[in-house]
Amino acid sequence: MDLSYSPEELAFRDEVRGWLAANLPKDIRDKVVGYQHLSRDDYIRWHKILAAKGWSVPHWPAEWGGTGWDVTRRYIFNEEFGLAGAPALPAFGPNMCASVLLRFGTPAQKERFLPRIRDGEDFWVQGYSEPGSGSDLASLKTRAERRGDHYLVNGQKIWTTLGQYGDWIFCLVRTDPTLAKKQEGISFLLIDMKTPGITVRPLILMDGGHEVNEVFFDDVKVPAENLVFEENKGWTVAKYLLGHERLGSGNVGASKRELKALRAIAARETKNGRPLIEDPRFRDRLTRVEIELQALELTAMRMLDHMRRSGQPPGADASMLKLKGSEITQSITELMMQALGPLAQPFAGVAGGSVDPFDSRLSPRYFNNRKTTIYAGSNEIQRNIIAKMTLGL
150-158/210-223 β-pairing? antiparallel
Check residue 135 and give left, alpha or beta (phi > 0: left; psi -120 to 50: alpha): alpha
Query: CA separation (Å) from 78 to 85, 271, 289?
Result: 11, 39, 21
Query: CA separation (Å) from 162 to 38, 46, 169, 191, 373?
Result: 10, 16, 11, 15, 19
Based on the residue annotation, tell me whether 245 is a catalytic residue of this protein: yes
Q: How many CB atoms lie within 10 A of CB 322?
A: 27
Rg of the chain over CA atoms, in angstroms?
22
Q: Residue 150: which residues within 8 A CB-CB, separation 6 or more?
A: 221, 222, 223, 224
At 356, is the secondary structure helix, strand, or coil?
coil
Length of the chain: 393
For residue 200, the cross-strand partners are: 215
At 23, is the secondary structure helix, strand, or coil?
helix
Q: Is the distance from CB of 306 to CB of 298 less than 8 angstroms?
A: no
Sign of the CA dihedral with 174 first, then 175, 178, and 182 last: negative
Report which residue type is found at 318: A
Report which residue type is found at 19: W
Q: Is the distance from CB of 205 to CB of 159 less than 8 angstroms?
A: no
Q: DSSP secondary-structure letter at 263?
A: H
Alpha helices in 105-249 (DSSP H): 107-119, 234-247
What span, in angstroms and rounded, lies between the C-alpha atoms of 363 and 206? Answer: 10
What span, in angstroms and rounded, lies between the C-alpha atoms of 240 and 226? Answer: 18
Of the candidates 79, 130, 211, 245, the residue annotated as catalytic is 245
At 221, is the secondary structure helix, strand, or coil?
strand
What span, in angstroms and rounded, lies between the C-alpha atoms of 46 and 50? Answer: 6
What span, in angstroms and rounded, lies between the C-alpha atoms of 384 and 39? Answer: 36
Residues labelled as active-site residues: 245
